[in-house]
Structure 1
Amino acid sequence: MSLLAERAEFMLRFLEEPAKIGSITPSSLFLTRKMLAGLPWERMETIVELGAGTGVFTKYMVEHKPEFCQALIIEQNYEMREKLRRRYPGFYYGAKAEDVSVLLQYFALPKADCVISGLPFAAFSRAQQHQVLLAVSQSLQPDGRFVAFQYSLQLKSVLKKYFREVKVAFMPLNFPPAFIYYCKK
């Protein structure tokens, strides 16, 4: 899929369900690299992506994960999920982020070394935020990582309830500019 077609599809899905998609455009390559480049890819056996959208992070995962690493991709939008399933048939797929720990068990996958998130937490109720973050925490290995981006700093205090370490970075080369949360269980 061309970059233009990907952006057009993302905008269409945003216009259909703005609270679920959370942005008018996919994440930039700059944001993707800053979020994911420092992860210990060579040691990852299981990785989860929440809110995969058109697959910007998924593509990076494919290019950097070891061959033995298994991936669970969560995308609530059916059309986007099915396109990703066709593009990356070797991965496992699900629709609801709050079901991530159940899906790992269902597919007989070990707990995740890392969960990557593109979910629009700012559009979620507090209860939904806690439900998803509890599921993420339960799905991670003891030293597992959670990496997410948001367009504000409002999630930081919530993340501190679930992770022993929360660091924040800023990426201005994204539309809109984004904050990246690096968390350790």
Structure 2
Amino acid sequence: MSGTELAREAWSHKIKRRVRNAMGPWGVFIEGFVRNPVMVGSIVPSSRFTINRMLAPVDWGNCKLFVEYGPGVGTFCRPVLDRLARDGMLLVIDTNPLFIDYLRRTITDSRFRAVLGSAADVEDIVRQHGFEKADYVLSGLPFSTLPDGVGPAIAAATWRVIRQNGAFLVYQFTPRARDFMARHFRRIDNALEPLNVPPCFMYWGWKDAADGQVAND
């Protein structure tokens, strides 16, 4: 590549960076979606109505580790940190380095950790941060469009990592996510939030204390 071509490429990156910075989190979110739409559920972040309803069933007084898959630009991160105990931890996992870099730069709360990796490796990631189990796991990953085998692997690993009486919180734009959850979670509550773009299906899979190890694990 010639010096002129290198200069043009550097200028192009500089312009893109300026545009993204001017747009704030929206710019980062859109760029992340364009780069990898299969791993981002929607081009529009979740509404406050979806956030509040998804987090409402959480027992925050007994939550020391809250895990989120696919945090994007932190739409749920700040509401979770607002509710989380002072000695708790929010651990987010994403395969998109653009999002992880943005979150590390913009969220300075000492209770926050952002990990570049796969949700299928959640058990190892949780142990690496000093925990054996998570109290709650939140996911907005588009299960129906993930590569073959990835959705079931994530659902199984999530079941194993959640403590008894904890829950798997899932929001999706199709009802198929429930099929992945139902292989492991016997009790699943559900709702539909119309005040979201698009309307959002919500599921809470509970790991009841009486549950044994579910088949197809």
Shared fold by TM > 0.5? Answer: yes
Post-superposition shift, 1:119? 0.9
Partner residue in 2 for 1:45: 64
Displaced runs of 4 or more, over 3 A? none
Partner residue in 1 for 2:190: 168
Identity value in percent: 29
Code of the residue aligned with 1:92 in structure 2: it is R
Post-superposition shift, 1:154? 1.3
Q: Which structure 1 segments of 5+ residues have no match? A: none
Alignment of structure 1 residues 64-143 onto 2, 5 Å: 64-89=83-108, 90=110, 91-94=112-115, 95-143=117-165
In the alignment, does 2:168 pair up with 1:157? no
Give the 3-state SS of the residue equivalent to 1:56 in structure 2.
Answer: coil
Post-superposition shift, 1:92? 2.4
Greater CA deviation, 53-62 or 124-133? 124-133
In the alignment, does 2:57 pair up with 1:63? no
Greater CA deviation, 13-22 or 120-129? 120-129
Query: Which structure's relative contact order is higher, taking Cα pairs within 8 Å and 6+ residues apart?
Result: 1
Whole-Å separation in 2 of the counterparts to 1:14 and 1:41: 31
Post-superposition shift, 1:161? 0.9
Code of the residue aligned with 1:164 in structure 2: it is R
Post-superposition shift, 1:126? 4.8
Aligned residues: 184
Post-superposition shift, 1:182? 0.7
Pairwise CA RMSD: 1.7
Normalised to the residue count of structure 1, the TM-score between the two structures is 0.92
Asked if the contact 2:81–2:90 (Cα under 8 Å) also holds between the matched residues in 1, the reply is no
Whole-Å separation in 2 of the counterparts to 1:31 and 1:51: 16
Normalised to the residue count of structure 2, the TM-score between the two structures is 0.79
Asked if the contact 2:41–2:140 (Cα under 8 Å) also holds between the matched residues in 1, the reply is no
